[in-house]
Structures are given as structure tokens and as C-alpha cells.
Amino acid sequence: MTAPDPETDPEAGTPPADAAPARRHAAGADPAKRAQILEGAARAFLEKGFDAASMEDVRRAAGVSKGTIYVYFADKVELFEALVADKRDRMFADVISLLEEDLPLRAKLTRFGEALSRVLCSEDVIRAQRIVIGAVARMPGMGERFYRVGPSRMHDRLAALFEAEVAAGRLAVPDARMAAVQFIELVSAGVWRRRLFCGPHAGVEEAEIVRTVASAVELLLRAWGRGEARQGLDD
């Protein structure tokens, strides 16, 4: 349940990099070049969006030839899906790991919430999410996978944590998964949605995130906290 399971995704991603640095790579199998292309694609797509970015933009940003891109990726869509798959996994891994730390509930939720909110609301990630959302109509599978390995997995992990806390008598939530979903939503309440539609409010986000997460934790504990978990609540 805690093991990472990236293998559930059809997009295997990088071909097995030889342990011993091979002198010559098979066509489309040089991980460095693949990464270079993905990096250029990230720059081009994040700046302009999927449709507005041309393969020429990608080529220029990646510093490779057009032909080379097509050796590594069958077409523009496949390149984009590979890019999303690549960033996605990296993105959520660190955040989830915070739930494994040995900390009091309040501190753990706060650290997790802030980390999650910071990631999801950072400029690049917001741009990426906008593009993915904008592309869902044409690439439904990609959106589903993004949701599954991102938000959905968060829900699972957090629900498990809540259940453990219930068993330990520190929480009285009647529906752990609902509570998990609500908490995830609350940690970026007002920020994530706004960022999806609006440009960054210069410098505001960090303070807002701290306030928002603190409020989310308080709301949760005030509603469902028991025993030591209620410490510090006025009531």
C-alpha cells in the first residue's frame, strides 16, 4: 500500500538505461537525448500550450533536429503525453512521502498540506495542469492517468492515515475518504482554482498557502479531532 507502483501506467517511459554507459544507443534509446527533447518540449509547451506550440518551437528549445524528435516520439501527441507522464510521477512522489514521516497529526497535516499546495500552485505546475486540462477533450486517457496517479493517490494515502488516526482514538471522522478528499481540497482552497484561471498574484501565494493550510487543519480538527489532537483549539 505504501510501495510506489509506477508500473500501473502503460507509459513505460525511458527505455532501460544500461548500467554500463553504452558507447552507442539504439535509435530513440539515448536517455540523455530523450531527456533533452522532453526538456525542450516542457519549455515550449509550458510557454505556449499544446496547440500553440509548434514542433519547430520544441526543436528550437530542445536544440535537436526535427527528425530526431520523431525518432524518439511518434508524433506531437505522444511527445506531449510522454512529457506529462514524466513530470507527473516526479511531482507527487515527494509530497506523498511526507505522510510517512513520524510527526504529530497536526504537524504532519500541516507539512503535507503546505507541500502539496506549493507544488500544485507553483507557476510551472499550474501551467502544466492548464495544458493537460485543456487537452483532456482530445486525449482523455492522459487526463485520467494524471488524475489517478495524482489527486486520486493522494486521497488513498490520506484516507489510510485518517483511518489509522480513528483507530488510535485521535479522530472521529465518520467517512475517512470523504474527509481526505475534503482536506486535499481545503489545503489549496481559493488558491488552486484562482491560479488555474489567473496569473500569479505577485508574492501573495506563499503567505496565502500558510494561512490556508493552517485554517484547513484547524477546521478538520475542530470538527473531528479527539483527545490530544484537539490541543490548542480554544473550545
Partner DNA sequence: GATGAATGAGTTTTCATTCAT
Partner DNA sequence: GATGAATGAAAACTCATTCAT
Which of DNA, a second copy, none sits in contact with 197, Cβ below 5 to 8 A by type? a second copy
Binding site for a second copy (CB under 8 A): 47-52, 127, 130-138, 140, 143-144, 146-147, 151-152, 155, 175, 178, 181-182, 184-186, 189-190, 193-194, 196-199, 211-212, 215-216, 218-219, 222-224
CB atoms under 10 Å from CB of 20, counted, come to: 6
Which of DNA, a second copy, none sits in contact with 110, Cβ below 5 to 8 A by type? none
Residue 19 CB, nearest approach to a second copy (Å): 27
CB atoms under 10 Å from CB of 193, counted, come to: 12
Our CB check for a second copy shows the closer of 25 and 48 to be 48
Residue 138 corresponds to which amino acid?
R
Residue 62 CB, nearest approach to DNA (Å): 9
Candidate ranges 59-67, 121-129, 151-159, 201-209; the one touching DNA (CB under 7 A): 59-67
Residue 85 CB, nearest approach to DNA (Å): 18
Candidate ranges 1-9, 66-74, 127-135, 197-205; the one touching DNA (CB under 7 A): 66-74
Maximum CA extent, the chain: 68
**Contact positions with DNA (CB under 7 A) in 10-29:** 23-28
Please answer whether residues 59 and 44 qualify as being in contact, where contact means their C-beta atoms are separated by less than 8 angstroms. Answer: no
Our CB check for a second copy shows the closer of 31 and 143 to be 143
Our CB check for a second copy shows the closer of 12 and 196 to be 196
Q: What is the DSSP letter of 151?
A: I
Q: What is the DSSP letter of 85?
A: H
Phi first, then psi: what are they for 171, rounded to 5°?
A: -140, 150
Residue with grid cell 512522489, as numbered in its chain: 93
Q: How far apart, in whole angstroms, are the C-alpha atoms of residue 194 and residue 179?
A: 23
Our CB check for DNA shows the closer of 68 and 117 to be 68
* Three cell numbers written together for 134: 485543456
What is 21-73 written as a DSSP string? Answer: --SS--TT--HHHHHHHHHHHHHHHHHH-TTTS-HHHHHHHHTS-HHHHHHH-
The residues binding DNA (CB under 7 A) are 23-28, 30, 33, 52-56, 64-68, 70-72, 75-76
